[in-house]
């Protein structure tokens, strides 16, 4: 689906573009306008970062500064722009899930849930209200058709590909989605920004932090947002695979699977966190060899292979996709061992460069 515009008869189809104020969504607007779309910009207020101003300087995609920059860029390019307040929805759907997952001993990926519930779920509702045919975002991904079905496809820039965060999108959502940057590399996007006079934006450093976590410190966030934190989080035992007590830790939520540094314990050899038990407040330590596994369990799972094979899977955003041996119920078995399988993260299935499914690791 290289040109969704051809699907409709309108001479100038309308697109609702999600704008963050950053280079990717701004260049997306430029490309859509050049391709003849009527663009309407929208920026979501998802988190009241002003409340955290005493903790950290505002930055990211949902700050007042970025929202106003998005509005300024839309006005500069001559199209309509709206700011929509989704803070309550975001708090209920994304932030609460983030808190619940960490307090259950898992490591969540809030961007996956935000994309499906906010950036697509809510944007499509707005698109219908505004009479827009499509929605668009600045993600590095593509939409493709194969054998009569619509799939999410990896972006041309494999270093920036963001399909790992988008696996929850449904076929119906993808049919109305445009990814203007899908065929571009990041460097090409920066070049386009410079050509249009956005030099400052072209060199602006990108934030890799979770938008609602000041200073990328999720531990402090939990301490201030979980009412009974002190009752639930306290010192507990480090144990080995046989249950032998090795020492003490500062509370299970302060650690993640695969963590090696900052454990506060010396065993005479590199130790890694291999398991976190929130109910017993016990953390299991092991060696690097213990971090490898050939299978995982997941919940709830969406898969649309339609006969496509062979399959590969990614268990982390930056990890390499590995061959899938078989899928049996809620279990995936890999052809080769995988390092650092982490409950709460996503496992995403691919057939070549097409996304055919995904799930939350248990």
φ and ψ at residue 305, rounded to 5 degrees? -75, -30
Q: Which of 11, 58, 72, 2 has its CA nearest to residue 38?
A: 11
Burial of 234 (0-12, 13-18, 19+ CB in 10 A): exposed
Nearest 5°: the CA angle 182, 27, 187 is 65
* Catalytic residue flag (residue 211): yes
**Structure token pair of residue 358:** 């995904």
* Catalytic residue flag (residue 132): no
CA gap 116, 118 in Å, rounded = 6
Residue 71 DSSP SS3: helix
**Structure token pair of residue 318:** 């930056």
Choose the catalytic residue: 62, 93, 111, 211: 211
* Number of helices and strands in the chain (H, E): 11, 17
Rg of the chain's alpha carbons, rounded to an integer?
A: 22
Give 291's strand partners.
none
Choose the catalytic residue: 62, 93, 114, 132: 114
Burial of 49 (0-12, 13-18, 19+ CB in 10 A): buried
**DSSP-H helix ranges across 157-279:** 171-175, 186-195, 199-203, 218-225, 229-232
**Contact call for residues 33 and 21 (beta carbons, < 8 A):** no
For the annotated catalytic residues, the residue numbers are: 114, 211
């Amino acid at each position: 689906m290289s040109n969704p515009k051809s699907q409709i008869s309108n001479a100038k189809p309308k697109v609702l573009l999600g704008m963050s104020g950053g280079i990717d969504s701004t260049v997306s607007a430029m490309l859509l306008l050049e391709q003849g779309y009527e663009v309407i910009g929208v920026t979501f207020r998802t988190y009241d970062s002003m409340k955290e101003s005493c903790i950290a300087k505002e930055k990211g995609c949902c700050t007042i500064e970025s929202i106003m920059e998005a509005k300024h860029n839309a006005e500069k390019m001559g199209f309509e722009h709206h700011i929509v307040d989704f803070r309550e929805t975001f708090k209920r759907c994304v932030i609460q899930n983030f808190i619940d997952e960490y307090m259950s001993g898992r490591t969540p990926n809030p961007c996956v849930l935000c994309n499906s519930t906010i950036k697509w779920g809510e944007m499509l509702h707005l698109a219908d209200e505004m009479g827009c045919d499509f929605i668009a975002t600045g993600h590095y991904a593509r939409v493709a058709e194969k054998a009569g079905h619509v799939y999410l496809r990896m972006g041309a820039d494999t270093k920036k590909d963001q399909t790992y965060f988008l696996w929850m999108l449904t076929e119906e959502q993808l049919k109305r989605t445009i990814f203007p940057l899908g065929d571009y590399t990041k460097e090409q996007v920066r070049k386009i920004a410079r050509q249009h006079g956005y030099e400052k934006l072209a060199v602006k450093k990108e934030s890799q932090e979770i938008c609602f976590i000041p200073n990328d410190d999720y531990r402090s966030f939990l301490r201030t947002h979980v009412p009974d934190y002190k009752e639930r989080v306290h010192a507990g035992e480090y144990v080995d695979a046989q249950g032998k007590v090795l020492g003490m830790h500062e509370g299970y939520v302060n650690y993640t699977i695969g963590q090696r540094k900052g454990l506060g314990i010396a065993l005479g050899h590199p130790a890694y966190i291999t398991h976190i038990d929130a109910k017993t407040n016990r953390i299991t330590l092991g060696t690097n060899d213990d971090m490898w596994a050939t299978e995982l369990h997941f919940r709830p799972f969406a898969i649309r292979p339609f006969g496509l094979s062979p399959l590969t899977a990614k268990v982390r955003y930056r990890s390499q996709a590995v061959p899938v041996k078989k899928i049996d119920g809620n279990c995936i078995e890999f052809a080769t061992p995988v390092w650092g399988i982490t409950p709460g993260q996503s496992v995403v299935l691919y057939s070549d460069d097409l996304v055919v499914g995904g799930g939350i690791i248990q």
